[in-house]
Amino acid sequence: MLTQKYTVQQQSIDTVLAWIRAGEIAIPEIQRPFVWTPTKVRNFLDSLWNGFPVGYLITWRNPDVRLKDGTVSLGKRLLIDGQQRVTALMAALLGQEVITKDYRRSRIKISFHPLEERFGVYNSAIAKDATWISDVSILFDPNTSMWDLINDYCQRTPSVTPQQLSRILERLRSITSHQIGIIELASDLDIETVTEIFIRVNSEGVPLSQADFAMSKIAVNEEYGGPNLRKAIDYFCHLIAMPEFLHTIEQDAEFVNTPYYRAMTWAGKMSNALYEPSYIDLLRVAFVSGFRRSRLEDLVALLSGRNFETRQYEQDVIRNCMERLQKAVLRFMNESNFKRFVMIIQSAGFVHPSLITSQNALNFSYILFLILKELGVKENEIERYVRRWFVLSMLTGRYSGSSETNIEYDVRQVVTQGIHVYADAIIRGELSDAFWEVALPEEMETSVVSSPYFRVFLAAQVKMRDKGFLSRDITVQDLVQYRGDVHHVFPKDYLQRQGMSRNQYNQIANFVLAQSEINIAIGNKAPKVYFGELREQCNGGIKRYGNIDNWDELLENLRLHCIPEEIFNMTIDDYPEFLKMRRKLMAQKVRRFFEML
């Protein structure tokens, strides 16, 4: 017979709020920003007023952990589902500020019209209307004199008697006595089971990830500085994407006095970051680089105190985990580490986020950088191997899909074998002659413009300082950074008029990066036509496309873009052969690029 892994109970809303104030149920301060609109908060109160059901709260109790003296510390409950509802209650009834989606503190004021018995979101019209109670939180403030409030309201609204108003307001105040269901999950459930329960019970909720559970565990660990560590992770990721967010962080007086704040202020002066990690990215990189493990469920277990050898829950494990994680997060956000890593990726030709199609490849490259630095590998070798491994990952999709297994395996091999032995062996195996000559040209037979193969090809052009298609002065790097046009060598409209499908005319082997004016000037002309005009341009004719007026310079430009010289005589019938020829040339260029990294 299966053991039930949860208990269900009914508690009053007032009791739940009391538990939260007493710390018996942990709601991380910024576990998730408050995403409900004021209107949704109003509707939630209206449901309570009318006695409608408002769903269940789901809590998950931390395992009890054994302390050094042999005693047991009872685990707190984590609020897994229901944070938005509970936060709405605390905001509307208790007058507390919430953290919005842009991480700003905001006050949500819900008003109440006693005569019409309805709620409203506070606005300027309500402020001017004496029949409204502008902020219902005043009714739940223990310092409020209900006698004075009723008298004041009745004086400005003579149509209602004190007795009538008193009955209505008491009914409103009684909503905190309404019952709400609480599902408490057993402490020995694993993350996958808890996640599955969440999805089944609340299919419309935002799906929880292992990172969410880890962040919750961090945030409620007040003994080892968890709340500020949790803030540091969120704040840094937001700051990298939005440097002006530093002003908001500076308003958090407690956080400003932490080493995390001092470690991240540099990001407030950085713009156009190539690497904009999410909190999940930061947490994963920090965990893998600091613990040599990749499964975030292992981090949750460690944060709960699990000793993997004894299978017991111990306080020392929590302390050790928090200390290591704090150091790993500080290493992640260290200015020198972060900027140097970004410069390494840029030096490989990836000068713009649009060229990077795999966040996992970027994350692992930073993991590799941090580990190699910790292992004392020479700086020039770190740069070389990080560049090569990143490009290898992009080309082979090494960390696409479920990547945790590959990440953990690669980390362990790098640590045990050394980067030189392991990386060189992987490169020989994955990027063999057969890959460059057969597999890569075949993979390039795709119409997906975001294909990693085309992005790596563009990075190769950036690295080799190639000029844009038919450009004399503008480089491919300029076009990447300032959004040049993706031009079809065999123009799109031309191929469409010949009956070609999207999958045919949008082949990446038909793409080049060009200046907008050149792309527009070519329009839908057949290649034989506009390349014939280019031939005339190089023989003293009118300059129709760019400023190249020398035959050798034109041929060199075509070579840089892997366009075969046969293009001058090609017709629609030659299009398949053109694609085949160019794919091979592109693969050869990418190989030369990789070998120079």
pLDDT, tens digit (0-9, with 9 covering 90-100), for 6-29: 788 888 888 888 877 776 776 544
pLDDT per residue over 126-183, tens digit each? 999 999 999 999 998 889 999 999 999 999 988 889 999 999 999 999 998 888 888 8
The torsion angles phi and psi of 422, rounded to 5 degrees, stand at: -70, -50
**Arithmetic mean of pLDDT, 106-124:** 92
What is the mean predicted confidence (pLDDT) over 446-456? 90
Ranges 274-278, 485-489, 583-587, most confident? 583-587
Q: With contact defined as beta carbons under 8 Å apart, do 236 and 331 qualify?
A: no
Between 328 and 211, where is the model more confident? 328
Q: pLDDT at residue 196 above 70?
A: no
Give just the sign of the alpha carbon dihedral 333, 335, 341, 342.
positive
The mean pLDDT value for 557-563 works out to: 97
Distance of CA 443 to the CA centre of its chain: 28
Q: Residue 188: pLDDT above 80?
A: no
**Cα gap 260→167, rounded to integer Å:** 52
Q: What is the model's pLDDT at position 464?
A: 97
Instruction: Determine what percent of the chain falls in helix, strand and coil, rounding each to the nearest 5.
Output: 60, 10, 30
Both structure tokens of 229: 């560590």
- Measured CA to CA in angstroms, residue 321 lies from 130, 214, 317 at distances of 57, 12, 6
Q: Confidence class of residue 68 from pLDDT cuts 50, 70 and 90?
A: very low
Instruction: Name 286's bridge partners.
Output: none
Residue 103 has pLDDT above 80, yes or no: no
Mean pLDDT of 586-596: 97
43-59: b or e for each residue (b if 16 or more CB lie within 10 Å)?
Answer: ebbeebbeeeebebbbb
Please give the pLDDT value at position 378: 96
Mean pLDDT of the chain: 88
What is the band of 304 on the pLDDT scale with cuts at 50, 70, 90? confident
- Mean predicted confidence (pLDDT) in 214-231: 86
Give residue-wise pLDDT tens across range 379-388: 999 999 999 9
Contact 563, 582 (CB under 8 A): yes
pLDDT of residue 119: 94
pLDDT for res 286: 97
**pLDDT for position 184:** 83
Q: Which residue has the higher pLDDT, 144 or 209?
A: 144
Tokens 């908060």 identify what position? Answer: 41
State yes or no: pLDDT of 592 exceeds 90.
Answer: yes
For residues 543-570, average pLDDT: 94
pLDDT of 208: 59
Angle at 438 between CA 434 and CA 443, to 5 degrees: 120
CA 146 to chain centre: 48
pTM of the model: 0.79
SS3 labels along 525-554 = CCHHHHHHHHHHHCCCCCCCCCCCCCHHHH
With H, G, I as helix, E, B as strand and everything else as coil, classify residue 182: strand
Residue 34: pLDDT band by 50, 70, 90 thresholds?
confident
**β-strands 25-26, 77-81 pairing:** parallel
Q: How far apart are CA 185 and CA 7, in angstroms?
A: 7
Q: What is the largest CA-CA distance in the chain?
A: 100
Mean pLDDT along residues 346-369: 95
pLDDT at 28: 45
Mean pLDDT calculated for residue range 102-107: 73
The pair of three-digit structure tokens given for residue 412, joined into one six-digit string: 């362990």
Confidence of residue 202 (pLDDT cuts 50, 70, 90): low
Q: What is the DSSP string of 217-267?
A: HHHT-GGGTHHHHHHHHHHHHHHHH-GGGHHHHTT-HHHHTSHHHHHHGGG
β-partners of residue 119 are 112
